[in-house]
Structures are given as C-alpha cells and as structure tokens.
Amino acid sequence: MADLTSLLYTAEHEWIAVDGDTATIGITDYAAEQLGDVVFVDLPAVGSTVTAGQVCGEIESTKSVGELYAPLSGEVVEINDAVVDDPSTVNADAFGDGWLIKLRVEAASVEGALDRDGYLALTGGEA
C-alpha cells in the first residue's frame, strides 16, 4: 500500500503517485466503496495519449457504471492487466494492487489537486 499522505487526489476520487516523469493513477477506497463490487474495468491502450479532464476509461460495478477521468495529460506506458482480468482487485486493494494506469507526463501538476487532508475534507473524513 502506498503512503497515502504522499499522494495527490482529485475531486473525481482518483489518486496520483508521481515518480519522476511517471504518474501511477487509481481510484480511492472511497470511490471503490461507493461503486460497490467492481465487475469490469476498461482502460486506455498502452501507447495512447490521454488528456487531463477527459474520459479515458470506464469502471462498472454491480451498482453503476463510472467513467475514469485522466487527471493528467500524457502517454499511457502501462495498464494494470491484473485489474482487467480481476476487477475485484480495485475493491480489495485500491491503493496498492488495484492501481489502473501509468502515464509518462511532462509536468505532474494537477489543476485543483488535493493533498490527503483536502481529500478527507471532501469526502467527510472517508477515504
């Protein structure tokens, strides 16, 4: 599991871990809990480019279908095939094995990004 205080968060309930020019992105435990049991994940293709704020994938659960928004612009360098094969991993370990995509980014600045305390304030203390 990642150090949750070192991550950035979005109002769309995504987390971002930046390491150099690579950003790993997933959804938070709070988002996974709100979705319910995740049964399908559609992620962008490796080599494709995503644009910050635009839909880049889909997460389906027993309750609803949610869109995955790219919090940063960049090139998809890796997707989590384990999550595609077993979507329940998102529920079981959202901040660890349940990561979704890795992007190569030039600038890891996320407009409106929140730190851990800001995200907890957004969700009423739940993460």
Contact 94, 28 (CB under 8 A): yes
Question: Token pair 């319910």 is at which residue?
Answer: 36
What tens digit of pLDDT does each residue of 4-16 get? Answer: 888 999 988 999 9
Query: 78 pLDDT exceeds 70?
Result: yes
- If you average pLDDT over every residue of the chain, what do you get? 90
Q: Is the dihedral of CA 114, 120, 69, 86 positive or negative?
A: positive
Query: 107 pLDDT exceeds 90?
Result: no
Look at residue 110 in the predicted model and tell me its pLDDT. Answer: 67
Q: Show the CA angle centred on residue 5, arms to residues 42 and 108, nearest 5°.
A: 60
- Percent of the chain at pLDDT exceeding 90: 65
Q: Which two tokens stand for residue 90?
A: 């998102």
pTM over 0.75: yes
- CA nearest neighbour of 8 among 24, 22, 21: 24
What tens digit of pLDDT does each residue of 18-56 get? Answer: 888 899 999 999 999 999 999 999 999 999 999 988 999
